[in-house]
Amino acid sequence: MGEQPSHVKVTAETPPGPQQRPPATLPHRAPDFELMIRSITHFLLLFGLSAFGFAEEPPLRFYRTDGGPNTQNVPQIKPWKSVPIDPDYGGNWCVTGDLDGDGIPEVVSAKNKWNDGIQYTTSAVAHRLDGSVLWKWGNPNEGHAYNGYDVALQIYDWDGNGTNEVILSTAGALVELDGATGKENRRFSIPKNATDCLVFVNLTGGPRPREVIVKDRYRRIWAYDYNGKQLWGGEWKPGGYPTAHQPRPIDLDGDGKDEIMAGYAMLNSDGTLRWTYRSKVMDQSHGHLDCCRVLKRGATPEDYRLILTCCGDDNIACVDGNGKIIWERPGYHFESVQLGDIFPDVPGPELLVDIAHQPRGENPLWVMDSRGAVLGKMILESSRIHDLVDWNGDGLNEIIVSADRGIIDRQGRRIANLDAGSRGGALLLGDMTGDGISDITIITAEPLAAHIFQNRHGTTPAALGCGVNFTLY
């Protein structure tokens, strides 16, 4: 990836052609702020102040309004399997993995209770791919089935014995269930509000992640070892800013221990503050970090490139492993990012990012290059849940959109409809058929089910199931 100037880079919009619809409007902000952003963008477009690093972008490779899952004259792909989920114990949060060691993944689903800002897992159910129930856990009369955020339930071989456990956070406790039976192996106490999500990390430099991080919704995080001993945590807003939806473990310095992107703050493995991301183009008092992705790894922190999206603060940024800003692009509520090779002639990887909180039917999904230039734009009914996978076997990635149930090519054209019935929710990639290639799983709410679409031609390698630390962000 080419080196970027260290100063701020804000690039001007490419005006739509005569057959293109105008870009979606900015997210709702105070009128004076909107006017300021538009004025700056217009000024840059007219004058191109190269002395400040501003530059015009390359022409868009596509700008399309997607027709949705009812688009005609494209193939309708039926699920390889549809797994009904028990609505009493399960919900639209699902994770997948091999629970009983037979080489076939199962689907684990959970319900979650929101109680005055504190949320915790209340029940769970594991289904085999034939729809039969492997086990159930918890109270089916508590909690909600439909959630638009991460739920504290993951699949992981925590003890390292070669078989997976199911780990969840319920009211005031972290619970480990035997993967094959659902029997409770053990539990240990955590703060009652530290049940928002859980992430497995390596904080000690051991051969595999053995520690776990838990958090409340936006203010504090805690780290525990395998035996339930608190290692650190509990401080108010690390670095002075809210936490992210899911902390991101990254070994930046190659010592075998994970650093933790906890929001706008990067923490050392012992929980101390390493650095704080401080934007040059936005007021960071409005929101929090939505997601962090590793764009490029390196031998030193300076070589790393991280992509950050800023909820409420309306920005996307690239920083190095020391928090130095490489580029920023303000003005929209960028939410989630996937990375992959989409265009064969663009030095990769490219970024696929949605712009959230737009009116229904006006939800943008952008493709950007690693320097932050926009290469393509789509307008969808809903762009919130998306991912990248090679579907046609050419070694490049197609775009998968869950709610709109489609596969889209690098020209923004829908090339297939994923026939999952009702609108999709969560989207999980991972091998579900045992061939080592990533399949597509879409969770629908009505009926509550996991629809698995077998990837018959693609080349994207994958382990069984969605992997550890699955997140919607």
Closest to 146 in 3D by CA, of 94, 97, 195, 182: 94
Average pLDDT, the chain: 89
Structure confidence by residue, pLDDT tens digits, 52-86: 333 568 889 999 999 988 888 999 999 999 999 99
The pLDDT assigned to 15 comes to: 33
Structure tokens at 421: 């019935």
Contact 207, 193 (CB under 8 A): no
The pLDDT assigned to 48 comes to: 36
Task: Report in angstroms the alpha-carbon separations of 84 from 121, 178, 363, 379, 446.
Answer: 20, 22, 29, 31, 10
- Name every residue whose Cβ is closer than 8 Å to that of residue 102 and which is 6 or more positions away in sequence: none
Structure confidence by residue, pLDDT tens digits, 330-346: 999 999 999 999 999 99
Output the pTM of the full model: 0.88
Cα(471)–Cα(338) distance, rounded to whole angstroms?
Answer: 12
- In sequence order, the β-bridge partners of residue 113 are 120
The pLDDT assigned to 55 comes to: 53
| SS3 per residue for 222-277 | EEECCCCCEEEECCCCHHHCCEEEEEEEECCCCCCCCEEEEECEEECCCCCEEEEC
Residue with tokens 């089910």: 449
Contact 46, 389 (CB under 8 A): no
The torsion defined by the Cα of 304, 307, 311 and 316, in degrees rounded to 10, comes to: 120
Q: How many CA atoms lie within 13 A of 237 on its CB side?
A: 7
Strands 62-65, 374-380: parallel, antiparallel or unpaired by DSSP?
parallel
Neighbours of 411 (CB within 10 A): 11
DSSP 302: G
Structure confidence by residue, pLDDT tens digits, 195-234: 999 999 999 999 999 999 999 999 999 999 999 999 999 9
Structure tokens at 366: 């952008």
